[in-house]
Amino acid sequence: MAAPPGPRTPTRTDQPVLQARGIRKAFPGVLALDGVGLRLFPGEVHALMGENGAGKSTLIKVLTGVHPPDEGSVSVDGSLQRFAEPLEAQHAGISTVYQEVNLCPNLSVAENLLVGREPRRLGLIHWSALYARAARLITELELDLDVRLPLSAYSLAVQQLVAIARAVDLEAKVLILDEPTSSLDRDEVAQLFSLVRRLRDRGVAILFVTHFLDQVFDLCDRVTVLRGGRLEGEYRIDELTPVTLVHRMVGSELRTLDELAETSRTASAAPVPAETPFLSARGLARSGAVQPYDLDIHRGEVIGLAGLLGSGRTEAARLLFGADHADAGGLRINGERTDLRSPRAAIARRIAFCSENRKAEGLIAELTVRENIVLALQAARGWARPLSRARQDEIAARWTEVLDIRPADPEAQVRNLSGGNQQKVLLARWLLTDPELLILDEPTRGIDIGAKTEIQKLVTRLASEGTAVVFISAEIEEVLRLSHRVGVLRDHRLVATLLNDPPLTPDRILGTIATGATS
Amino acid sequence: MTPPDDIGAGGRRPARAPGARRLTRHRLFWPATFLASLLLGNVAFTHDFFAVRVQNGHLYGSLIDILQFGAPLILVSLGMTLVIATRGIDLSVGSTVAIAGALACEHIATAKDPGSLPTVLSAITLAVGVAAAIGLLNGLLVARLYVQPIVATLVLMVAGRGVAQLITDGQIISVSSSAYKMIGGGYWLTLPFAVLLAAALVAVTSFVTRRTALGMLIESVGGNPVASRLVGVRAAGLLVMVYVVSAVCAAVAGLMISSNVSSADGNNAGLWIELDAILAVVIGGTALTGGRFSVGGTVLGALIIQTLSTTIYTLGVPPETTLVFKALVVMAVCLVQSPAFRARLSRRRRPAASAPAVGDAGVRQQEVHP
Ligand SMILES: Nc1ncnc2c1ncn2[C@@H]1O[C@H](COP(=O)(O)OP(=O)(O)OP(=O)(O)O)[C@@H](O)[C@H]1O
Ligand SMILES: [Mg+2]
């Protein structure tokens, strides 16, 4: 296709490659979509925006044959389509990366990339060709992976990239990406965007969901906004400013973007370091995961962990929780030597760890929101001392309100919640255990900008009340906004621990990551 | 957090399912419907199928028979439910049934006064104690040595049957003990004692799992073992517990079976009962992939299987086709319960019932002019 490079605005004669009209989709108890339409033109990057639970992922699932719509139609290149399953949509040229990565963790990266279209020879899989082709795909995305390793050897962010690489390879005319950037750092985001621009210039239509406003203004040509399951409107990006876009999404004139963006940075003053830190790690290490590191965490202190993808942030944090067992070094809690043999032991020492991988390591999908929220507390009490049902209801109701979990139905199965709301359920689970050390690994992943600010405020408030917090995020700005000190990791090594006063800049952090210099 | 209240879900109309839809969605709907239709179907062949007579102060009738002969299966399935809820499976229950019966009968047969209550009580204690040890072994293999449940319990499925044969010397041990006969063949308060015993154990299990946090923690371990570990659920203890419960349930079932016929048969007692139990659990709506379990569903599932066996006898289905007949019915039950199958059926029945209206029905799109 010989489309001119650069963003295009559709002309009236253009026909949408993908068009949805009057889509309605109800789930028991929830009307997820009500009369929603969407038009995607060739060669455009189109953002689908809305708050958590607005219906973005559901719309994508309806477009691609995961859910049949109750009403409404989907047409591809002007002809009506009823996809009975995602594979049919894929054959019609619609390639999709869903919000929850749907790959097989125990297969190799290469198999995940090419499953269903393995190169064959005499009917048998041609393994060397498979690995070669997979490696080529990976280098195109400027990734550095061993395609023969099982996918589970890599972090969630890498798995997300593999899912994208797989989708991109599918020779599609429509590419749908549901929150692809939620756990990527700047570099990967930049790589993904340049790939998306290349595809757009080839005439591919791209539908893109994100909660990062700057990414929308950076990349997208047009925007469709959903609010509470209804279509709010379709706009050209130059008709909008970040402020008006947020107004369209939340439907309120009260919140200005300034109010949202301004989270009093380190609102809690840096704590006066006590004699003994709450937790102190000396030479803590695990081979293949983290090199020996020292870290003191005081009560009331927020320590950010920054570093690139695969730098060992998560691995370092897991040792502090006993999720993995350290094979060298030691831990002291309140000055007392301890060996955290299991998460259970860490929880008994009032440590909480909210994993970045909510599907695999967080949620119990078929249990209810209430059960998921009380689970950590109940597990700590043991089965013989049940929380009364009234108590559980009260806890669930309170946290549903505090974190604004929607739908506000504690008896909903947690798997039916939208991604952002699932994340809030996990946060509630750990916050209510009233920990002394709270380890948050990508706590705002997939959370909309309103709720994100609330969560950041909550972290600040907890710290000012004396909780120690370890905060991990791919978004450096967020780490700097909240942390008193920032630990910088590079190649599985803690290279520096920087005081965030006077305020550090993202460039300073990136510089430290690049040079690995200690200060 | 103070969300403006005019947004999002607040302004959303809930989509209420009509009453009938909500009923068919209830997890016990399909098993209950199936059991009911199976029972009703029997009336066509046996007109007094639902009749219950009182004779010598005991209740008699086909329904009572189904309950009485179904009691051992209900018990085995009960234990199996908890095991399956943790993503496990217990293949050794059939052998445990045989071992328990063999131990008890051997003990009674060699005792000085086979009819006395102390003899019977010690026989029961012996059988249940040994079963608990079997469960403990299974549980430790699974929880501590991380042996796949199907492999761990396969060992005892095979070896256990051999042990039972060793205990009985390959013979059938007959006992004559009225106290022992009570367990599987006696009556109490007009009902077969076995039915009351099974009902009591079902009630205790539901009560304990649902009134304590046991049920939720079991479902958590089965639903997502990795996440459960990270929230601090003590999975090993729970796993050992469910295998012990399963073995003890099987032992009680074994006592019932041997007591009913006043003899122990190491070769045939409880043969293939593990498969019927797994089937009962699945028909009852507990998935083999673990997680949510339903004790009520399992009881219905076990009753369906027992009713089916009874029906086959009363219909006089030739013995060589009974297994095929049973398989067909079970397949039908499973298909009806499969959401994918039902969706396919209803899609065929009303093709494009909700055929889209062409035109921008209800789309409020803002035209974009270049
Ligand atoms: N399978 C389901 N069963 C019941 N309710 C569902 C199901 N899937 C989605 N929902 C509900 O539909 C609504 C829209 O969810 P959806 O996942 O589309 O939101 P979203 O816009 O993608 O949000 P997020 O930004 O958090 O990912 C939510 O209220 C959700 O709870
Ligand atoms: Mg979503």
Helix (H, G, I), strand (E, B), or coil: what is residue A79? strand
Domain ranges of chain A: 1-93+171-250, 103-169, 276-350+435-519, 358-434
Q: Which of B231, B234, B345, B363 to mutate against chain A (most A CBs within 10 Å)?
A: B231
pLDDT at position B368, please? 38
pLDDT at position A294, please? 94
| Chain A CB contacts of B1 below 8 Å | 401-404, 451, 454
Cβ separation of B219 and A367 shorter than 8 Å?
A: yes
| Chain B CB contacts of A450 below 8 Å | 3
B294's CB contacts (< 8 A; 6+ apart) are B27, B28, B81, B284, B285, B286
Of B4, B214, B223, the CB nearest to A252: B4
CATH superfamily of A276-350+435-519: P-loop containing nucleotide triphosphate hydrolases (3.40.50.300)
Helix (H, G, I), strand (E, B), or coil: what is residue B297? helix
Q: Please give the residue of chain A at the shortest CA–CA distance from B352.
A: A82
Ligand 1 geometric centre to CA of B18 (Å):
21
Distance CA A103, CA A110 (A): 11
Beta bridge partners of residue A354, listed in sequence order: A440
Q: Which of 1.10.10.10, 3.40.50.300, 3.90.550.10, 1.10.3720.10 is the CATH number of A1-93+171-250? A: 3.40.50.300
Q: Is the CB of A506 under 6 A from ligand 1?
A: no
- How far are the Cα atoms of B96, B98, B244 from residue B133, in angstroms, in the given order? 11, 15, 8
Tokens of A372: 């998921």
Q: Is the CB of A151 under 6 A from ligand 1?
A: no
Q: Is the CB of A483 under 6 A from ligand 1?
A: no
pLDDT at position A274, please? 65
Cβ separation of B4 and A254 shorter than 8 Å?
A: yes
Ligand 2 geometric centre to CA of A346 (Å):
32
Residue nearest atom 7 of ligand 1, based on CA coordinates: A416
For CA atoms A484, A490, A493, A495, give the dihedral sign. negative
Instruction: Give me the residues of A, 281-340, that contact B with CB < 8 A.
Output: 321, 323
CATH topology of domain B26-341: ABC transporter involved in vitamin B12 uptake, BtuC (1.10.3470)
Cβ separation of A251 and B6 shorter than 8 Å?
A: yes
Distance CA A23, CA A63 (A): 9
**Each residue of B246-280: pLDDT tens digit?**
999 999 999 999 999 999 998 899 999 999 999 99
Q: Is the pLDDT of residue B130 over 90?
A: yes
pLDDT at position B320, please? 80
B360 neighbors A37 (Cβ within 8 angstroms): yes
Ligand 1 geometric centre to CA of B231 (Å):
25
pLDDT at position B2, please? 35
Which ligand is located closest to the Cα atom of residue A67? 1
**Each residue of B2-22: pLDDT tens digit?**
333 333 333 344 444 556 666
Sequence-ordered alpha helix ranges (H) in A169-276: 186-201, 213-219, 242-250, 257-261
Q: Please give the residue of chain B at the shortest CA–CA distance from A418.
A: B9
State how beta strands B172-174 and A468-472 pair.
unpaired
pTM of the model: 0.88
pLDDT band at B309 (very low <50, low <70, confident <90, very high): confident
The type of residue at A198 is R
Pocket test for ligand 1, best of A24, A30, A359, A448 (most atoms within 8 A of CB): A30
Q: Is the CB of A56 under 6 A from ligand 1?
A: yes
Tokens of A429: 């689970």
Cβ separation of A37 and B291 shorter than 8 Å?
A: no
Nearest CA-CA partner of A472 in A435, A504, A443, A510: A443
Dihedrals phi, psi of A194, to nearest 5 degrees:
-70, -35
pLDDT at position B21, please? 66
Residue nearest atom 24 of ligand 1, based on CA coordinates: A52
Each residue's pLDDT, cut to its tens digit, for chain A (519 residues) gives 444 444 455 554 578 999 999 999 999 889 999 999 999 999 999 999 999 999 999 999 999 999 999 999 999 999 999 998 898 998 899 999 998 877 888 899 999 988 877 888 888 888 888 999 899 888 877 778 889 999 988 888 888 888 888 888 777 899 999 998 887 888 888 888 988 998 899 899 999 999 999 999 999 999 999 999 999 999 999 999 988 898 899 877 545 445 555 544 544 566 666 678 999 999 999 998 899 999 999 999 999 999 888 889 999 999 999 999 999 999 999 989 998 999 999 999 999 999 999 999 999 999 999 999 999 999 999 999 999 999 999 999 999 999 999 899 999 999 999 999 999 999 999 999 999 999 999 999 888 988 888 888 889 999 999 999 999 998 888 999 999 999 999 989 999 999 988 888 888 888 888 887 554
Q: Is the CB of A27 under 6 A from ligand 1?
A: yes
B26's CB contacts (< 8 A; 6+ apart) are none
Instruction: Give me the residues of A, 80-139, that contact B with CB < 8 A.
Output: 80, 82, 84
Widest distance between CA atoms in chain A:
73
Which ligand is located closest to the Cα atom of residue A97? 2
pLDDT at position A332, please? 94
Cβ separation of A382 and B234 shorter than 8 Å?
A: yes
A375's CB contacts (< 8 A; 6+ apart) are A364, A367, A429, B216, B220, B231, B233
| Chain B CB contacts of A70 below 8 Å | 354
Cβ separation of A367 and B7 shorter than 8 Å?
A: no
